[in-house]
Chain A
């Protein structure tokens, strides 16, 4: 307990940790600002002529739908100084955008939305099918995926990654200063040492993650906050235990740094993997599902797998400490 207290005091006094909190806060604030601004702009019925789309002929249905969504429509080759963000060729269905204009993304989103609406009406007519909907949320919901799929996972993954990087530096520094030897020759068990080196970082990451969750909840209605905090705790346990394992078994600082870089690369790699049955249990997707769904069997299995991975990593960290102790003795 004394070691945990000492480690916690060191973390709180660590400038790198305090700096990382500021960086994390700025990142989350920026993401929420973008989320809010983009939603506002997309929802605005009149984009003040900022989003301009050119069409090649006078297609009244298309033009009226685009105008209803707040887009200014001009005819292609019309005289004037306005430069369109996108040009639609209604004959071939091709759309060309101007990547140089920041509003081109909005133009594509609006065209996509109108395209879907026209296509849907045609499909209903073709299939002789009637469709109605009720109790939908008002306002723009184009960025719901970004909120739950990106901002919430980032808010929880970032503190865990910071925990990994800080705990690696902590053990490496103790190895270098040889203060770790005092612990290794003492009658404290491998489990206790690994726990003392892991718990403070897991705790600080979880507290940070919970704080970011409160910030995120001001803009995004997140569900199952307690489960998300458990997910954060388990994710931090996995990453911090891995860092204890890496820093205990690496032969040099260089090797430890390379291995921690590899851990980060593997994490990015896993996010890019194409959709499959296994992707449901990837930490980022699990967090996204917990934040948007009522707890179900899939979420319980996901959390159980995360807990199992956490315990396995912690067990490996204990073994790593044992190996370090044997090498010193």
Chain B
């Protein structure tokens, strides 16, 4: 069986599951109808209180009204308040019994509010004052037009848009779990493995059929979304981002399905990995809120979608897409490594060393495996670095030195883990393998951080060399049984370079 035939077979499998298709359509419809509701809620976010955007305070307070005045109609219009019309004696009794939050005694010329000295009485009183204000002014015009403050509102709108756009990916990328983890449990893959088909083709066909399915749904999604209020400056660019993200999530699902020991575990791990991916990119996109970290927000594809929603014609982030493809390819390689191990057939969770064995079977060269491990280390580094920086920030404080040290330690630590798996046996081999791990890591990092793709090598040559040298030291240290010492040395060297770079940049400024 060829790749094409198996992909077609996979696609037929996805499309023949009508109940799944129906669920996907219902999920997309719910997401579509959520867009105008959420955007409307953001539109109502104008009075300095996010809560005013959501109907959460429905009939939260109860006010006993004594007397008649046309302004009571205004009070009745407030959805937060429930009013009871009673005489003064009953009103005071209700107040003392705690059955109302306040009493409003009103006549033609005056009004008096009596509370119960509890916070909810203040909320009831503010509603009464709003009603008096609206009625007496005869219009709703506020002194300050907070509606015109588009700063926070637009920011929130553009930040939520990518989140809404990417939500359906969770469901679109489920078929690959079904076809890897579930087919293994049903022993279907054993039949496929018995046929003269290469395992790479089997896994690739499963990923491809899910990707084609996502591409079709993505096209439908992009056609429908503008009707629900999300418009993009460059819809094709947004579509490419959407599909690239789908590819990443599918690859991650393929990886967790190949590693997990059963389908349930695969599903749980997939929801965790998808949540981490979306949350990670969303968190990075939020960095644009702070001027000092605005530039870092460019590291998230969500930022591009946000910019497209707010009508900015920003250039397509080619380098960022390349990084996403590198991470996807790395996930595929790892998935294939797990898929190729004996553990996969026996539904056992492979360890790191078994994954490495699987990788060696595919690549057939320790140097190539080292280069691939560099990409693996880089793929994990972003979330690990964020956690390390976050922990340092919350536990110690915003010390620039410690934040930089935690990021550096995370990078060198992950490269060291890769070398620990490669297990170089003598000095020269350790240095070469380390250099290759560092080279792959440095190249990926440069792709992500280079301001212009064409200038990547020119600007980033020094950091690539630093990564290679540091890892080379760790590799040599491992071979000579000075692993911990070599890791500390690599961290210090890398840190020294980073500090020099920062001082240089500050001097330039």
List residues of chain A with CB under 8 Å of any chain B CB. Answer: 16, 86, 88, 92-100, 104-105, 108-112, 115-116, 118-120, 122-124, 126-139, 141-142, 144-150, 153, 169, 172-173, 176, 221, 251-255, 257-259, 261-262, 265-266, 268-269, 271-275, 279-280, 284-285, 288-289, 292-294, 296, 298
In the complex, A148 Cα to B122 Cα: how many Å?
14
Residues of B within 8 A of A127 (CB): 132, 135-136
Residues of B within 8 A of A97 (CB): 149, 151-152
Determine whether the beta carbon of A221 is less than 8 Å from that of B118: yes
With both chains docked as a complex, state the minimum distance between the C-beta of B498 and any C-beta of chain A, in angstroms.
Answer: 25
In the complex, A134 Cα to B117 Cα: how many Å?
8
Determine whether the beta carbon of A133 is less than 8 Å from that of B115: yes
Interface residues of B in 143-182 (CB under 8 A from A): 143-146, 148-149, 151-152, 155, 167, 170-171, 174-175, 177-178, 182
Determine whether the beta carbon of A255 is less than 8 Å from that of B34: no
Which residue of the partner chain, among A100, A132, A266, A284, contacts B290 with CB atoms under 8 Å? A100
Residues of B in contact (CB 8 Å), total 88
In the complex, A187 Cα to B77 Cα: how many Å?
58
In the assembled complex, B56 has its CB within 8 A of some CB on chain A: yes
Residues of A within 8 A of B26 (CB): 262
Interface residues of B in 90-133 (CB under 8 A from A): 97-100, 109-123, 125-126, 129-130, 132-133
Determine whether the beta carbon of A133 is less than 8 Å from that of B113: yes
Determine whether the beta carbon of A100 is less than 8 Å from that of B291: yes
Residues of B within 8 A of A255 (CB): 17, 19-20, 23
Residues of B within 8 A of A96 (CB): 148-149, 151
Residues of B within 8 A of A257 (CB): 174, 267, 271
Residues of A within 8 A of B502 (CB): none
With both chains docked as a complex, state the minimum distance between the C-beta of B111 and any C-beta of chain A, in angstroms.
Answer: 5
The CB with the most chain A CB atoms within 10 A, among B98, B119, B148, is that of B119
In the complex, A178 Cα to B271 Cα: how many Å?
24
Which residue of the partner chain, among A100, A112, A120, contacts B146 with CB atoms under 8 Å? A112
In the assembled complex, B456 has its CB within 8 A of some CB on chain A: no
Please count the residue pairs between chain A and chain B whose beta carbons lie under 8 angstroms apart in the complex: 266
Chain B 383-411 interface mask (CB, 8 Å, partner A; 1/0): 00000000000000000000000000000
List residues of chain B with CB under 8 Å of any chain A CB. Answer: 17, 19-20, 23-24, 26-27, 30-31, 33-34, 37-38, 40-41, 47-49, 51, 54-62, 79-80, 82, 97-100, 109-123, 125-126, 129-130, 132-133, 135-137, 142-146, 148-149, 151-152, 155, 167, 170-171, 174-175, 177-178, 182, 185, 262-264, 267-268, 271, 289-291, 294
In the complex, the chain A residue whose C-beta lies closest to that of B23 is: A258
In the A-B complex, the 3 residue pairs with the closest CB atoms: A127-B136, A108-B48, A149-B56
Which residue of the partner chain, among B24, B58, B112, contacts A275 with CB atoms under 8 Å? B58
Determine whether the beta carbon of B24 is less than 8 Å from that of A258: yes
Residues of A within 8 A of B113 (CB): 131-134
Determine whether the beta carbon of A253 is less than 8 Å from that of B182: yes
In the complex, the chain A residue whose C-beta lies closest to that of B176 is: A254
Residues of B within 8 A of A262 (CB): 23, 26-27, 30
Determine whether the beta carbon of A129 is less than 8 Å from that of B152: no
Determine whether the beta carbon of B58 is less than 8 Å from that of A288: yes
Residues of B within 8 A of A138 (CB): 117
Determine whether the beta carbon of B174 is less than 8 Å from that of A258: yes
Determine whether the beta carbon of B136 is less than 8 Å from that of A173: no
Determine whether the beta carbon of B151 is less than 8 Å from that of A126: no
With both chains docked as a complex, state the minimum distance between the C-beta of A123 and any C-beta of chain B, in angstroms.
Answer: 4
In the complex, A15 Cα to B167 Cα: how many Å?
27
Determine whether the beta carbon of A95 is less than 8 Å from that of B146: yes
Determine whether the beta carbon of A141 is less than 8 Å from that of B151: no
Residues of A within 8 A of B99 (CB): 294, 296
In the complex, A138 Cα to B186 Cα: how many Å?
66
In the complex, A269 Cα to B264 Cα: how many Å?
27
In the complex, A288 Cα to B155 Cα: how many Å?
29
Determine whether the beta carbon of A254 is less than 8 Å from that of B177: yes
In the complex, A122 Cα to B185 Cα: how many Å?
74
Residues of A within 8 A of B170 (CB): 261
Which residue of the partner chain, among B51, B135, B262, contacts A149 with CB atoms under 8 Å? B51
Pairs A–B under 8 Å by Cβ, sample size 10: A131-B132, A133-B112, A133-B125, A134-B114, A144-B119, A148-B57, A172-B264, A221-B119, A296-B99, A298-B82
Determine whether the beta carbon of A136 is less than 8 Å from that of B122: yes
Residues of B within 8 A of A124 (CB): 132, 136
Determine whether the beta carbon of B182 is less than 8 Å from that of A144: no
In the complex, A39 Cα to B98 Cα: how many Å?
25
With both chains docked as a complex, state the minimum distance between the C-beta of A220 and any C-beta of chain B, in angstroms.
Answer: 9
Which residue of the partner chain, among A105, A122, A269, contacts B37 with CB atoms under 8 Å? A269
Determine whether the beta carbon of B152 is less than 8 Å from that of A288: no
Residues of A within 8 A of B100 (CB): 294
Given A255-B23, A272-B41, decide whether A292 and B61 contact each other with a Cβ distance below 8 A. Answer: yes
